[in-house]
Amino acid sequence: MAATLDGQLVVAISSRALFDFEEENQVFETGFAQDPGPDLPPGVKKDAAYMKLQLERLDVPAKPGVAFSLVKKLLAFNDAPESTLEAASPAVPRQRVEVVILSRNDPVSGMRVFRSAQHYGLNIQRGTFNRGAPPWRYLKPLHANLFLSTHLSDVRAALEAGVPAAQVYPQSARASDAHPNEVRIAFDGDAVLFSDEAEMVFQAQGLSAFQAHERDKAAQPLLAGPFKPLLEALQRLQQAGTSRMCIRTALVTARSAPAHERAIRTLMNWNIEVDEAMFLGGLAKGEFLREFEPDFFFDDQTGHVHSAAQHVPSGHVVSGVSNLLT
């Protein structure tokens, strides 16, 4: 019988989002900036120096990247027995999370990616290495719940295909190690968990019109945003239960009262719970996120992502009206 990922939380991630390949990437970018000459068409085999460097470093584990903590903690759900069965069968864990590498790297460099994962005890067995070709097209057969990449066009294409996706900011601060048994994830609201309906009102008519619009529609649930399916999948993972790992979620939004009520009621209508909600009324999110200490934060506005990235791992959700011209 063929293998299946049915019932698992599937996270697809690029090698540069998982590991710190910034030094190697500089070599790659330099190669592609050079004139290939008359005998070599543009974009072809200019990655030779990059491949050579990765091969030379094959036995040198790459340093953890921005999304490393998120991946490591999610994979820990596979090591922890289900709490309801722990006493009866403590040695039989259930596979709950699958992490798959989807990379523009070449297959040679892919060897280093897998060796680095093995070095850190990350049980990652599947991956595609496409040597510059867009990997997002493999998200559909994976039925991925999340795609993390540093490549903007891949993230945009994934979102258009209906997969929750974010562009990882490689220079983001790394996650705190203060919560080893909690996966902490923070989400913006409008255009991330929710549709950009209300954001469009704010962009077109200003804050007063936005507040009035949300007050009048407080009892009407917002439509789903691109990350609602991920939040649902995380809640299912949490409810499956383990005595050793748990998930803590936070809504971190520029909304304030009275616009807060519609956001809360929308989550209630979806039967989704979050552990914390921060209604910041336009305050910079970075320092609040520093105190929450998430393993990752998702926001659709680059200003908020830049603020957050100074303190926590962060990614740009390229969706909604704020990103129409990006």
Residue ranges of domains in the chain = 9-168, 182-323
Q: Which of 117, 153, 120, 119 is nearest to 135 (CA)?
A: 153
Structure tokens of 77? 């759900």
- For 244-256, the three-class secondary structure string (H helix, E strand, C coil) is CCEEEEEEEECCC
Q: In this structure, is the dihedral angle defined by the CA atoms of residues 177, 302, 62 and 8, taken in order, positive or negative? A: positive
Give the Å distances, CA to CA, from 117 to 30, 50, 62, 254, 322.
Answer: 26, 20, 9, 37, 36
Q: Which of 182, 144, 194, 148 is nearest to 167 (CA)?
A: 148
- pLDDT confidence of residue 89: 47
Q: Which helix (H) or strand (E) holds 96?
A: none
Q: Which of 261, 229, 243 is nearest to 139 (CA)?
A: 229
Supply the pTM of this predicted model. 0.90
Give the span between the Cα atoms of 242 and 79, in whole angstroms.
Answer: 10
| pLDDT of residue 79 exceeding 80 | yes
Give yes or no: 59 in active site: no
- What confidence tier does 1 reach under pLDDT thresholds 50, 70, 90? low
Q: Which of 47, 106, 154, 188 is catalytic?
A: 188
For the stretch 300-320, pLDDT in tens is 999 999 999 999 999 999 999
Structure tokens of 39? 């005998």
Q: Which fold has domain 182-323?
A: Rossmann fold (3.40.50)
For the stretch 136-182, pLDDT in tens is 999 999 999 999 999 999 999 999 999 999 999 999 999 999 999 99
Which residue did the predictor score with more confidence, 161 or 85? 161
Q: Which fold has domain 9-168?
A: Rossmann fold (3.40.50)
- pLDDT confidence of residue 88: 45
- Return the residue matching tokens 């921005």: 66
- What confidence tier does 206 reach under pLDDT thresholds 50, 70, 90? confident
- What confidence tier does 91 reach under pLDDT thresholds 50, 70, 90? very low
Q: Which of 128, 115, 93 is nearest to 245 (CA)?
A: 93
What SS3 class is residue 83? Answer: coil
Give the span between the Cα atoms of 167 and 318, in whole angstroms.
Answer: 8
